[in-house]
A and B are shown apart, each in its own frame.
Chain A
Amino acid sequence: MTERLVKVYSRFNRLWHWSQVASIAILLFTGARIMGLHSVLPFGLAVMVHTVVALALLVLWAFVVFWLMTTGAWRQFIPSLDGFVEVARYYAWGVFRGQEHPYHKRLGRRLNPLQAFAYFALKMVLLPAIWITGLAYLLHGLWSHLDSGDQWLWLVANLHILAGFAVAAFVVIHVYLLTIGHGFRAHVRPMLTGFDRVDLTPEQEAYLETEEPGRLHPELRAKG
């Protein structure tokens, strides 16, 4: 195994990530305004911004789903129990002992088992919960005649808010975990440049060098 700097985050992948960062930040901020946690901007403006940004994010997600499916990148997110316990034990215990992170990124598997599980849950439960309730909430006018007394709207809105806080909690954990291991900057850099340290088999390295040399960064070659 050789650790090389390999381009694992394609341009689209990074665009997806950072526009999602911006969208979610705006959605959390305007969402908090709509539910009355602050009044930095007028309610009506907050609703409009929240709606437009949410719709734009949905369009992005439609492209993402297409991209994940056609490129096979979806496999990255299939959860696996292999190494799960070790990673969990590291965050609960080893990190305080200065141990090395037990997981090393591989070419087809850049997420550790805990990450894969977290992202799987995010994509399959939390994000659908938020956009399904969000669309139902937005389109209440189409079904309000079935909802005298607004009981269903109450449920939809409350689930939407709860899911919103869950996303906010995810963001907190996500950002916090960047500070562990190689440090915050080292963890953010790959999402900017696209290159991350990956353990390559000799076959993978040989393949990339001949077929996709652009994906191999000149740095870290010596270390191999």
Chain B
Amino acid sequence: MSRAYFCALFSVAIFLATPTLAQEVGADPPAVPGKGSTADHTKFEILKQDFASGPEVTRACLKCHTEASDQVMHTLHWNWDYTHPATGQSLGKKNVINAFCGNTASNETRCTSCHTGYGWTDTRVSAPADPTRVDCLVCHADTALYSKLDNQAGNPPLSPVPEGAKTITGALATPVDLSKAAMSVGVPQRENCGQCHFNGGGGDNVKHGDLSSALIAATRDVDVHMASDGLNFTCETCHLSSEHKVAGSRYAVNAHDLGGTGLPGMRRDVASCESCHSDSPHGASLIGMKLNDHTDRVACQTCHIPEFARGGVATKTVWDWSTAGKLKDGKPYHEAAFTQSDGKALHTYLSTKGNFEWGENVVPHYAWFDGQVEYTLSDEVIDPEQVVEVNRLSGSPDDGTSRIWPFKRMVGRQAYDTENLTLVYNQVYGPETDTAFWTNFDWSKSIEAGMRYAGKPYSGSYGFVDTYMYWPITHMVAPGEDALKCDACHARDGRLTALAGVYMPGAKLTLGGKLGMALFALVALGVAVHGGLRLVTGRGGDHD
């Protein structure tokens, strides 16, 4: 083989090989399909059909996810019924009376618009035991493609949508394409949870105070975990779920997580700060040690959520139902005297609901809390001379487990039975009955209808009683630098001065301080008298 021939052959080989090499080095590797899932729901034939209702979609989901509905039907999201393991009380939305619209019974198609199902029209009985009645889409579909009407017992707006109909977030309803919605499913995003949990009580942040639409695109100062330019947590990052059961409860709060952090794969059932941060989260320094000393008496939230209703969305702080029903020229009217920081005017009076007050950046109410909450249910006798606690916080400084927790303390004035001395159920939403308050503005009819519907005794005479309702504050954790400084509590007018049962240096002058100051004053006086006498006698005590 001649040398020239060999060189030519070699050059050709190089030439042929070069493009392949270049392609392998320069091009992006092929994308991983599925966006974090093994299934692309747009490829499922079963979802490419003209669904006529929500349950039809669920039927399609259940073809593959065979146990999903059954799992959901075992959860509080479905049952709205919870028997407290310690107190034995029957709680859950189905049973309790709250300081907002009161009760679900007799108001169903509006209240149950936020149920994770379709068509629960009577909360006196369990939600319909039909697997296709579970609403998969409200938690799993893209919220831009799916929503629920605010008064149709959980059904979505389908064409033709009635004029002026609204969704559960208060937005104007547009017809949903169920097929597109079904193909958009994935793990729940904050918008999914937020549709109901941000809008509880009838509007954005009305109920909780620490759960609002400000968390959808949160900035770091609003929520250090959910900040879209930071950790970007979704709700489920903390509220882990297993078999559709989501961690975290407001009825039996894990208020003092002594388990702390777990190994990978452990503890899928907690949503406490300690489950990630442990109970000694501050650094190994002198100040860190002192701060860690606090964690047995003070919940993380107390310092790390200095104020709630941050991020520009106000929360309702006072709701006085006793003024509801006033009409102008026979017609309901409203006032909107509160201006939110974004300029939006919020209702301060509605003929349908009475007077409200609102707050942004609200300083919490603090109380000892062991996680137990007891409700004033409809059969409990109240003392109308006192402020009635719609839910009572259990806990004390010396039980060894309670810690100081922050709460939103909702101030209410709501109806009660003046003879039986019980809180009452009322029918506010009819919509077109002759008893519902929002259409008739007549309390006696509304209460009578609510109590009869719920099968509760009612004397026929009602009044209004002042109430408090407590909402544990645990969201909107601020960045470390915004946490409360020591002086917020360790001061004469500190945040916790009203709270007994803990020794807080600096909060007040205690016996030792008083005795010490008296001793010091006596000694100073003695010295002054002695020195004065020396001056008077002219001796001064100086000699040489």
Residues of A within 8 A of B (CB): 33-36, 39, 42-44, 47-48, 51-52, 91, 95-98, 100, 140-141, 144-145, 148-150, 153-154, 157-162, 164-166, 168-169, 172-173, 176, 179-183
Contact = CB atoms under 8 A, between A and B. Distances in A.
A162 B515 contact: yes
Contact of A36 (B501, B503, B508): B508
B282 to A, nearest CB: 11
Given A148-B397, A150-B502, A160-B512, A172 B524 contact: yes
A166 B519 contact: yes
Contacts of B539: 95-98
Contact of A173 (B511, B517, B527): B527
Contacts of A180: 534, 541-542
Nearest to A142: B293
Interface in B51-88: none
Contacts of A33: 506
A162 B544 contact: no
Contacts, number: 135
Interface stretch (B113-121, B179-187, B322-330, B482-490): B482-490
B343 interface: no
Contact of B516 (A36, A96, A161): A161
Given A39-B487, A141-B289, A158 B511 contact: yes
A158 B502 CA distance: 14
A182 B544 contact: yes
A157 B510 CA distance: 9
B3 interface: no
Contact of B506 (A36, A51, A162, A173): A36
B4 interface: no
Contact of A176 (B399, B520, B527): B527
B286 interface: yes
A153 B501 CA distance: 11
B520 A165 contact: yes
A179 B541 CA distance: 8
Interface residues of B, number: 48
B505 interface: yes
A140 B295 CA distance: 12
A135 to B, nearest CB: 13
Interface string B502-544: 1101111111110111011001100100110110010101111
Contact of A169 (B286, B519, B530): B519
A31 B282 CA distance: 24
B513 A48 contact: no
For the complex of A and B, the 6 pairs showing the least CB-CB separation, nearest first, are: A165-B516, A158-B512, A149-B398, A141-B293, A169-B523, A161-B512
B537 A97 contact: yes
Given A35-B513, A96-B534, A47 B485 contact: no
A154 to B, nearest CB: 5
Given A173-B527, A183-B542, 9 more contacts: A36-B492, A43-B487, A43-B490, A43-B506, A98-B539, A145-B400, A154-B503, A161-B516, A166-B519
A169 B520 contact: yes
Contacts of A172: 520, 523-524, 527
B487 A158 contact: no
Contact of B509 (A35, A52, A157): A35
Contacts of A141: 289, 292-293, 296
